[in-house]
Chain A
Amino acid sequence: MKKINLAIALGATCAGCDVAILDLNEKILEVFDLVEFKFWPTAMDFKLDDLEKLKDKEVDVGIYHGAIRTTEDVKIAKILRQKSKVVVAFGACANFGGIPSLANMPYEQNMFDLVYKDVPSMDNPENTVPLTSVKIDDVELTLPGILENADALEEIIDVDYFVPGCPPMVPLIEQVIEVLKVFAKKGELPPKGAVIAGTKTLCDECGRTKPEKISFKEFISPQEVEEMDPDLCLLPQGIICLGPATRAGCDGLCTKMNVGCRGCLGPTDKVKDHGLKMISAITSLLEVDEEEEMTEEQLDKIVEKIPDPLGTFYRFTYGKSLIYKLHSEEKVI
């Protein structure tokens, strides 16, 4: 069996996706039997030159994790596309922009001022901010430029497959390995655009019981719950859980620990805007029976209990949201 040429490239990432691959434990040995690493700078001694030197399409599968945040990320992504037969967007950042894309939210303040000067914890008396170029003793040192927004990989290059998750969970990576095995043996690949995760939502696999009807009167944090029912769905207990709107595939990793789903696997195939769908579901369920008798103020009071609504509902998918696309004046439809 011919080994598959694999490249793992990265952009704006915390490298948790790399750690997730290593989390395969002994199963990683199968990976080494299956693939020939052509590029994986996090784990081995590779430089971008090594990727650039390869022939076009020499890499069978190119995996990319992280968002597109800098000019360097764009460059790497484009090289990876050029050198790979298929490209896989790996992890929430590459799929949806991820947490870095929350910075796309329009602020009155300049982002650099906010991050490098105004944050209360920042001690920066000389107001040093990153520059793309600086001359020291006539030697020019350069850094990649930062883009206005952090985007998903798909916005920059053509992507063949998607593996969401923050980071993609071991069961999903195992699915990827199975795909690679079939590819190595028979040369067959899934249809372009396939998402390697569940098709349904988390509720399908979370295992908590649903009351016949879900409704709740308030939002509370898990630590505020006096006595958590370990078997009952979290929503009727007042805990925000994005499970109903989020793609299955993690086997209820968070909800099994009494923590509401944060939505890292993104929406289903049917949904364009993950957060919007969850907002519309949650507001539909809230006090649905008494809603008519309640005043706007009373309803506002409940909704105000949601800490950081944007971060709650768009933690991983802001880069794909309609509001982002609207304010960034991209074509929405």
Chain B
Amino acid sequence: MSKVGVFVCHCGRNIAHTVDIKKVLETIKDYEDVVHVEDNMYMCSEPGQAVIKEAIKKHDLDRVVVAACSKDMHEDTFRIVTKEAGLNQYLTEMANIREQCSWVHEDKKESTEKAIKIIGSTIERVKRNQALEPYHIPVTRKALVIGGGIAGIQAALDIADAGYQVTLVEKDSTIGGKMAQLAETFPTLDCSQCILTPKMVAVGRHPNIRLLTNSEVENVDGYVGSFKVKIKKKPRYVIEEKCTICDDCVHVCPVIVHDEYNAGLSPRKAIYIAFPQAVPATYIIDPNTCLGIDPLICAKCKEVCDPKAIDFDMHPEILDEEFGAIVVATGFSAYPYEEIGEYGYGNIHNVISGLEFERLLSANGPTQGVIRRPSDGSIPKTVVFIHCAGSRDPAKHLPYCSKICCMYATKHALQYKHLVHDGVALNFYIDVRTAGKDYEEFYKRATEEESVIYVRGKVSEVIQDGEKLLIRGVNTLTSESIELHADMVVLATGLLPSKGTQEISSILKLSCDSKGFVKEAHPKLKPVETAISGVFVAGTASGPKDIPETVAQASGAAAKAQIILSSDFLERDPVIAEIDDLTCGICHTCIHVCPYGAISYDEGQNKVLVNEALCEGCGSCAAACPSGSIELRNSTYESISASIKALLKA
């Protein structure tokens, strides 16, 4: 015999205007095992909670039903209330008579009947609930940050500054990411490198940060609190501690390839350093282009290297590490310019990408900050900037707005005008989106003070016309077609998730949106959390964003990671799946169905096991289990069928 207390919430008029609360109370009080019924205007309010607490004590209740809103809203609230009143929190259930009843019906009589049924069904369910205790799982108090761009750098620094150990993994030879390639940043025009490199240096020097560049995360097992991570450290072929960055090796290296840092606009050797401020400050040999990792073929660099820093015998190392929390900051890649065939990128020399233009603007770029045409090195007098190149075009390209392109194209035009005073900068736009602090002012400055021309319209094609480029388009404000000649075209393309973002989301089993960006646990309220507990996301890995937002997210993700690292143990909900070995035939169906990888087969015990730290209690396995051997705690077959029975009762 249970002693059930039922508490019915009016939710102001939300429930009460369609459900006759008085009738509900009168009916429910006569139900078997119900010893107390009570209503309140707002059960979730402090006085409402007090009502429940008092009643539990006064009537010695051993089961509680709160008939109010969705479990998503207030299950935690009422569990805590129950616990504070001295009753096990898993002996409380919520009956949803708002979203599933009052909000979707108009007829008061019928919705009252339905509310009574929902409550009756929940009473049957709660009577069968078992008292459960949360699990405690140990926490490895170390964080892994994946990706060494500005987001990863900021997250690593914040966690390390809070006193926790951080490993920062970056696949390139240096940290810095895309921000290190930018010339100046909008809207303040501070030099990107100048504000970034101090942070890079701080990472390199921080006693709590272990920096692994030229490394990749190969595999992640485990769960929040103890992720078991395999990191592949690729060989640099240069011993970091010995290299003095004297550049003797560079002079003798016979291999010349495109320099990725300068977006391919300048050459580099097979042994190189990405840029002078690279962290770690050491050379690296690119094994794909080096003539001889086999030293018999070339080895010129090794011959001239005084400190004997070059070692051709380095091999990939696999590091097995354990972490309590993971921050994914794997960034973006630009939309492939060559996909936009009508703009001729790749065929027409003087059609360049936004990133290439950044490098041309940079003082440490291939032209030392002078804008020159790739075709002949002349200074372009008319430059056309095409906004939304490949964006907001659901038919052919990206359907979405990448948020930053309007601003960076505006910045490009403005900087071009700073460098070429008599030049003409012309921006084709669909809408100019300047939603950010001081962004509108920046745009005004470009148009009003720097005479950058903005034309509302889309460029339909760019073709080579002698030395010049012929641009055809339409002015959508005047409906006139436009034909003009320019010396250079810069494409402001949108953002895609980087290859690294795609790889890491499959390794971590993160869910992604249709574009491949990592999905947040909640788009508004959990912007840096992912569906996997203990894995956080920051920056452009979860969608296009500018630097301030990226940095804010990185700090947010770092703070979230610190919550996990701040204690030796984590509490986990015990409402998880249980397997009955007596009937389980080990068919492996559950292993495949589990979205969290929480179920595994243990060969030694010849059993299928549920990992209580990974199981989220979704119930997919229980539904799929063909032998009926899996049940979710407090959602057993018996309890589900009892609640259905109560619902069907006339």
B-contacting residues of A (Cβ < 8 Å)?
199-204, 210-215, 233, 243-245, 248, 267-271, 277-278, 280-281, 284-285, 288, 333
Contact = CB atoms under 8 A, between A and B. Distances in A.
B628 A280 contact: no
Given A212-B591, A270-B627, A202 B585 contact: yes
A193 to B, nearest CB: 15
Interface string B572-588: 00000000101111111
A284 B593 contact: yes
Contacts of A284: 589, 592-593, 620, 623-624
B588 A213 contact: yes
A10 B217 CA distance: 67
Q: Do most interface residues of chain A lie in helix, strand or loop, or is the interface mixed?
A: loop
A204 B585 contact: yes
Contacts, number: 94
B31 interface: no
B641 interface: yes
B586 A210 contact: yes
B648 interface: yes
Nearest to B511: A292
Contacts of A212: 588, 591, 601
B589 A204 contact: no
Q: Which 4 A/B pairs are nearest by Cβ-Cβ distance?
A: A201-B585, A270-B628, A244-B587, A245-B626
Contacts of B586: 200, 203-204, 210
Given A200-B582, A200-B583, A281 B628 contact: no
A288 B593 contact: yes
Contacts of A277: 625-628
A281 B626 CA distance: 6
A214 B589 contact: yes
A326 to B, nearest CB: 12
Contact of A269 (B583, B593, B624): B583
Contact of A245 (B623, B627, B641): B627
A191 to B, nearest CB: 15
Given A212-B591, A268-B629, A333-B641, A285 B624 contact: yes
A201 B589 contact: no
Interface string B540-553: 00000000000000
Nearest to B600: A212
Interface in B24-50: none
B623 A280 contact: yes
B644 interface: yes
Nearest to A201: B585
Given A210-B587, A243-B587, A248-B585, A201 B627 contact: yes
Contacts of B587: 201, 203, 210, 214, 243-244, 281
Contacts of A270: 580, 583, 627-629, 637
Nearest to B637: A270
A210 B588 contact: yes
Nearest to B641: A333
Name which of B580, B589, B645 has the most chain A CB atoms within 10 A of its CB.
B589
B589 A285 contact: yes
Nearest to A213: B592
A201 B592 contact: no
A233 B582 CA distance: 22
Contact of B585 (A215, A244, A269): A244
Contacts of A271: 626-628
Contact of B626 (A201, A204, A210): A201
Given A200-B627, A210-B587, 10 more contacts: A202-B585, A210-B586, A213-B591, A214-B587, A267-B627, A268-B629, A270-B637, A277-B628, A281-B589, A285-B624
